[in-house]
Structure 1
Amino acid sequence: MKFADVFIAFIIVAVVLLIILPLNEVMMDILLTINLSLSLVILFVTLYIKEPLDFAVFPSVLLITTLFRLALNISSTKLILGKGSAGRVIETFGNFVVQGNLVVGAIVFLIIIIVQFIVITKGAERVAEVAARFTLDAMPGKQMAIDADLNSGLIDENEAKRRRQRIQQEADFYGAMDGASKFVKGDAIVGILITIINIVGGIIIGLTKMRMPIEQVLERYTILTIGDGLVSQIPALLISTATGIIVTRAASESNLGRDLFKQITGQPLVLILASVLLFVMGFLPGFPRWILFIMAAGMAYLGYTLLQASRVSLAAAGQEASSESVLEEMRKPENVIQLLEVDPLEVEFGYGLIPLADVNQGGDLLDRIVMIRRQMALDLGLIVPVIRLRDNIQLEPNEYVIKVKGVEVARGHVLPDHLLAMDPGTVEQPIEGIDTVEPAFGLPAKWIKEHQREKAEMLGYTVVDPPSVISTHLTEVIKRHGHELINRQDVQILLDNLKEKYPALVEEVVPKTLTLGEVQKVLANLIKENVPIRDMVTILETLADYGNITKDPDMLTEYVRQALSRTITLRFIPEKKAKVLTLAPELEKAIMDSVQQTEHGSYLALEPNKTHAIFQNLTKELEKFTSLGLQPIVLTAPVVRMYFKKLTEQIAPDLVVLSYNELDSSVEIQSVGVVRA
């Protein structure tokens, strides 16, 4: 890299000196060949890069190549006017275009100049100007999009910083290209002027100084002028084309020498393609073959060497970097603290399921997880933390594990190249497939091939793809363990959001009446029983009313549930009609008599035989509900609800237990069973 720095500085000084120092014909041939080679390489680089910032030094390269081309024009003009000769390259180009007819050759040359100036150069300049303007105009919108992704949790702070820096570089790049395109336009104008000077000056010198006949003067100097113009205009045309390519598809952090060396040699195939073209040109009559062949051989060798070295270095660097980074991380003493971090939610995959989560392989699981977080926010008002996706080679290839706070809570198997067909209970004719169990709800199902989908749907099966199976399972796990995921920090975020519109309410509850932890426990209790907490105003109003009476989170939860009666009714009895189980009066009395009050709260102390009898009776009644296809709902007195719910969590954690005060007055209730002790 140090060599590259010095080399670029030397090249720039040498280009300036070309304008002053005289050159012989052989040196002119070599420099013109180098100029043509550079233009080919730059054009191929612009074709192979994926985005403009991969060739961020292009504006500076454009300036150097333009200066180099102008220096060669000046040197060739001195040779043409001084000696009447400018080397084999220029003469060959001139003869190739003229081919014995000066008028036709001059017209062809004029057309090439017009195309270069009006079409390519003018178009590239306009595109660069428009791209710079639109890039600057789009910056605020891109910045807002990055902030939105950061606030929604889609990206972290480091990724946001990288994207902001990328936007700034794009703006710098297109701004530089807008100015650099003016060099191309000026170069085309100068080329036309030099052509006129060569012809007029050559005629004057040929007639006055060399005493040559007018026909010989016109032929000699016109051929040299046309050849000189083509040798300069063809590379200029290639560079202008490269300019148009790169601005239609900003500045770099490194200096020009390092970026130029890294970015050009980072495309070995470009050097090989350029060497092939130079090798073919060496067989055309009149060209200096030894120069072209040497240049082509050098580029081919360099390109092949770089290509092989890049393959070896990538493979070795990948292994060394992974092992070295692991060792380096292990050596850091502060990383012991990082080992203590536990992700609230994570999903681990076997290697066979990685394509489902890999966007580059067409996986959409990440998008589904974003939708799950939105769904939980809209449904329960729950802020679901960022869900980590990891591969785990210890799992079976098609197995996945869902963890809550580092502990496994669910596990499942899916077949990536199959579909899951579930029987909703109406299927009469079975379909061929691999027997399995749907992981979220434990329903019997079959894995079928893609071509069996239409047949399965016609038979009445519900057919879903593997990502849907995993996302559904994950959604149910979040609902079941949502009360474990909401923490004090999440509650603080909810309160801060509410404080913008209801500052007096928030300040009265926290910290004047209740602590942040007590509010968090009430919200966790609500989420545990699938009660939404989106109506934070009602929740806080209730806590403000009863927070001075009791600090028991369980009792406060009951008061909040009664205040949310319309929400609870709509959630569990949406049709305003329900068949429910009720508790026998003697059972309710027995429960209330068994409640023990302590300074830390209240708890139920029933005798074991009575508890067993309640469980047996409840199980029988629930089986009746299940056989009728109804959702079991138990209706109790308000003072009993909380204790009966805690009692039945052991055998029926998803059982809905409501009190009379939690139902809207318009609900029609029909008791179809009574739970007795």
Structure 2
Amino acid sequence: MDLTRILNTLKMISGSGLGAPLLIIMILSMVVLPLPPFLLDLFFTFNIAFSLIILLVVIYMLNPLEFSVFPTVILVATLMRLALNVASTRIVLLEGHQGGAAAGKVIEAFGSFVIGGNFAVGLVVFSILVVINFVVVTKGAGRVAEVGARFTLDAMPGKQMAIDADLNSGLITQDQARERRSEVAAEADFYGSMDGASKFVRGDAVAGIIILFVNIIGGLAIGVGQHGMSFAEAGEIYVLLTIGDGLVAQIPSLLLSSASAIVVTRVKGGTEDIGQQVSAQLFENSKALYITAGVMGALGVIPGMPNLVFILLAGSMAGSAYMIDRRQKVLASIETKRELDVRQTVPEVKELGWDDVMPVDIIGLEVGYRLIPLVDKNQGGQLMTRIKGVRKKLSQELGFLVPTVHIRDNLDLSPTMYRITLMGVTMGEAEIFPELELAINPGQVFGSLKGRECRDPAFGLEAVWIDAGQKDHAQTLGYTVVDPGTVIATHLSHLLQSNSHELFGYEEAQQLLDNLAKVAPKLVEDLVPKTLPLGVVVKVLQNLLQEHVSIRDIRTIAETLAEFGVKSQDPDILTSAVRVALGRSIVHEISGIQQELPVITLDSELERLLHKSLQTAGEGGVGIEPGLAEQMHRSLEESAQKMEMEGQVPVLLVSSFVRPWLARFVRHSISGLHVLAYNEIPEDRQIRVVSTVGQRA
């Protein structure tokens, strides 16, 4: 099996989630099963290499969180080293009487070559390593980890408040705030884990001492008692092997303790590794090097001192300080030149002008940060597509191009709120829940639903926010269930349709006339500006839109204005004339192709009274008695509701003189009531009076 196949097999095992179970099985096997000397040598060598890799990774990392798995690695390395101790103890005690090579080449090498075959020296060296590891490195690292974990936890609330403050002030986005919160939580978890992991390292050092004495006593007892060796022979073999085994285990342990100490003592943050930080902060101070070189040089001239060594070291430090000084001066001159170049290239601050005054958005949609996925195509949001569909549908129905909807996030809003604005003024806002669906009560349902009760933002109907799993059940009960994107799109469509006259201005009117000029150039030429100014045409078209009359038939509208514009330039009179010309399409929008049109009429005496009052007091209606107006309004509302309950569109039919005032009178108070004039009804339509509103009704 070649190397590539082996690496692919290891990658497959790691990716399948079998790596950790296999590692545990391997550690248990080393504890339970006897290992041949070759495998023991291989595992000891791997243990040393693994500890060295960990130490180098710690040295070269830029941030402790880059090695967030370090506490777990400490535990795994400690368990593996203890399992190796058990395996090596077994083979030393079982096969040690055959000679040093019986326990493996690694243990033999550390027992003979490293300490020169002298077990007394080995004991001293081992004791020093244990003191360094246990008393100095491990104990200090554990204390630093404990304090670091406590300080990190204490600082968490302040860091969270700082993130919220930056988010509220707009310095960071919601994604950046979420990332910072995750870093704060990960940092607290890491230092808490390091506090516990340091106990593993310290326990490993204690275990090494105990294992050493147990192996020495056990080896002497087995050599003398079972194999008939003399005390000196048993001591020479078993003590050397035990010390070699201990040294093999203590060196990786010391490396791992050092790595743990570096992690917990390193200052968080920065963009440099340990080597770069030490070089930049310790050996970049030329003054400190000059003084040190002077002291070492003074010591070097004292009789009896190793003069050559001291003078060589002093000269090296002085030379390094000189080179550092020279490099810093060159860098300072380059930085000064760069600053001068930047000052020369930076343009002067421009004076404020009208270009700096940003116009308001004609149509705006502001969303809280939790609703951003609804408008983000990269996150699967479909709201942008639906808004384009709403604009297209309204443009076709109304007869002019609806302006673009400008969408932006607003951190001042609640996370689940949205707001719709026209000309910078809020026209509607509501709270929706992106993970739920809205079940709307259309008027008659056959049960209730569990959820957040609310009102439909567009039409004010009773509604409930439910889980997606209840959708089918809600529909069987008669509810209309829509997703959050549809709720916003429907609300936007309703507001745009209700306020379409505010979206129409001079530019839109000119575009309509320019398009008409392509097919009827003479008509447009005679209309504007010969017959009527553009402002009057705009006002007439706005009046039609305000009364929910489409201006798609711009040719008929232009011909009517050209005909009646020579007689009057009053927008209200011209609007009435255009409505008569568009009567067929107005009635068709109300009743379709039905020949009979059910209507509400006013009592003749009441209509004469309104006519007289308007002639006397003007179209403001100030001549109408308040009590009469209230009574008439109530009667009209009752009649309209009755027609709606019978499945008919409520229509009030009056004379053309009082129609404009009555249309304004009921526009915002009786929704769905159409006010038509007698002369707006086409000749081929029949009228059926369903109710008459009288003065005493």
TM-score (norm 1): 0.49
Q: With CA pairs under 8 Å and 6+ residues apart, which has the higher RCO, 1 or 2?
A: 1
